[in-house]
Structure 1
């Protein structure tokens, strides 16, 4: 597939933003550099905003025709999110995924970007500033861990396991009411589950073959487009809770990824339930 933007240029841009605006602020945030958005645990920092400004400014030069959809841009102009469904070419960016961790001084955060072309995600990148490497995928081309010196290691999801032996990631913070009680109770059926509070690292862990599933309810495109493409290109199976395909404009319906379709159906029946 011919992409509308060289994905390596986008990858280098994420690294530049991390080195210029994110890492210099890690464990150095001052008073007023961290603010709450929708709730006390939904944070934004000076690093998020400065990194997004840098990425957007550079993309205006190398991809002037792209609709830029950044997490902080949407926070400032919510109507921007609605334009994604009809955009022919869009670049979706999460400047600091795992802001709670970043603001707490925990070294588990990432920088993510995806390319959306004619309604589908065609490229995804997750950069780890602490490890200085990327996981990347182009649609139809597989998923890879890319090291700074250029070494590329193909990624593959884990082998399937029985339900009681599965290990996974479940972000329970955005399940509410009866659904929350049901899913948290049903997760007792798996061997172990956790949450990094950082979808960037959860997707990297899944695509690298270390866990058998990841589960989310809140769907913001900057959190999930890159990771879902990388995960499926690594051999995983992804769908919303009703079994429908996850598309760039979706913001609800939940999202479950598993090692294969049969495991997905088992998890759907046993964990999500009615």
Structure 2
């Protein structure tokens, strides 16, 4: 059972944080930050942390493929490994723009998939030490404590809607037809924080346009195993080997998910 991997994986996450991430936090020089795409950066800490994570995870399951965000950026052919029998998926620093600016939130995300289905995920917050993790069929946890998703209880529900990667027409449709039914809150620009907020009673629902495996594999499993719901807008399960497809809804309860999916289908 993957829950037995949590101790070793946690140690590897902490090692990456202690050696590569936290020593450089709020002390990066300009030459240690590179533009990777429009409104997206990578730092020396991302690259060093990914190497530490990849080496450590490979020692746990040598038979598993490894797909890291930075390695896949350098060699997109690695994305073909996401459907392998076993695959480690690594986001060395999620929320890199925040990290590079010297502010929270940011986190480290690791998932293990089996033939395209996420079977375990770990989300580590280096600043607080919080480890959120989930295991297919075995529940969701913060540290050693099993957790159940909580709604905020607010009316209207609180929504964090990511408009960043939507085209202008879709962005406007969201503002016109979805936003009026919710109390909107700022997105943290960090899936490692956004998914836990759906479970911890901070936010009720979220819409994501871009669904890259390293951003969403661990978080989707965490929400679902906690009793919330995260799925494609048509209700299909999220698969890491379909991470090129747009659109994903996360919610603190199945009812909240269904209400948002119904509204989204009418847009």
> When the two structures are superposed, what TM-score results if normalisation uses the length of structure 1?
0.91
Partner of 1:142: 139
Selected match of 1:106 from 97, 103, 106: 103
Indicate yes or no: 2:37 matched with 1:44: no
Q: Secondary structure at the match of 1:256?
A: strand
Measured against aligned partners, the alpha-carbon deviations of 1:82-121 in whole angstroms (never above 9, x if no partner) come to 2212x00100010000000000011210000001123311
Inter-partner Cα distance in structure 2 for 1:168 and 1:12: 34
The correspondence of residues 83-162 of structure 1 with structure 2, limited to 5 A, is 83-85=81-83, 87-146=84-143, 152-159=144-151
Asked if structure 1 preserves the Cα contact closer than 8 Å seen for 2:81 and 2:87, the reply is no
Tell me by how many angstroms 1:272 deviates. Answer: 5.6
| 2:6 is aligned with 1:7 | yes
Q: Report which stretch shifted further, 218-227 or 201-210.
A: 201-210
Within 5 Å, give how 1:243-254 maps onto structure 2: 243-251=235-243, 252-254=245-247
Name the CA distance, whole Å, in 1 between partners of 2:200 and 2:17.
22
1:30 aligned onto 2:29: yes
Deviations 1:214-242 (A, max 9, x none): 21010100000000101111111121122
SS of the residue corresponding to residue 44 of structure 1 reads strand
The answer to whether residue 248 in structure 2 is matched with residue 255 in structure 1 is: yes
Q: C-alpha separation between the residues in 1 aligned to 2:216 and 2:195?
A: 9
CA, structure 1 residues 156+4, in 2 after alignment: closer, same or farther (shift >3 Å)? closer
How many Å separate the matches in 1 of 2:87 and 2:62?
A: 10
Query: 2:229·2:254 contact (CA, 8 Å) conserved in 1?
Result: yes
Following the alignment from structure 2 to structure 1, what is the Cα–Cα distance between the partners of residues 242 and 29?
A: 36
Structure 1 SS opposite 2:89: strand
Q: Please, which of 183, 190, 211 is the counterpart of residue 174 of structure 2?
A: 183
1:37 counterpart SS class? strand
Are 1:145 and 1:155, in contact at CA under 8 Å, matched by a contact in 2?
A: yes
SS in 2 for 1:245: coil
Corresponding residue number in structure 1 for 2:217: 225
Aligned partners of 1:260, 1:133: CA distance in 2, in Å?
23
Measure the CA separation in 1 of the matches of 2:3 and 2:222.
Answer: 18
Gaps of 5+ in 2: none
Q: Which runs of 5+ in 1 are unaligned?
A: 147-151
Aligned-pair distance for 1:158?
Answer: 2.1
Is 1:142–1:234's contact at 8 Å kept on the other side of the alignment? Answer: yes
Give the paired residue count.
265
Give the aligned partner of residue 193 of structure 2: 201
Check the 8 A contact 2:151/2:202 in 1, yes or no. no
Two-structure CA RMSD over aligned residues (Å): 1.8
Inter-partner Cα distance in structure 1 for 2:95 and 2:31: 19
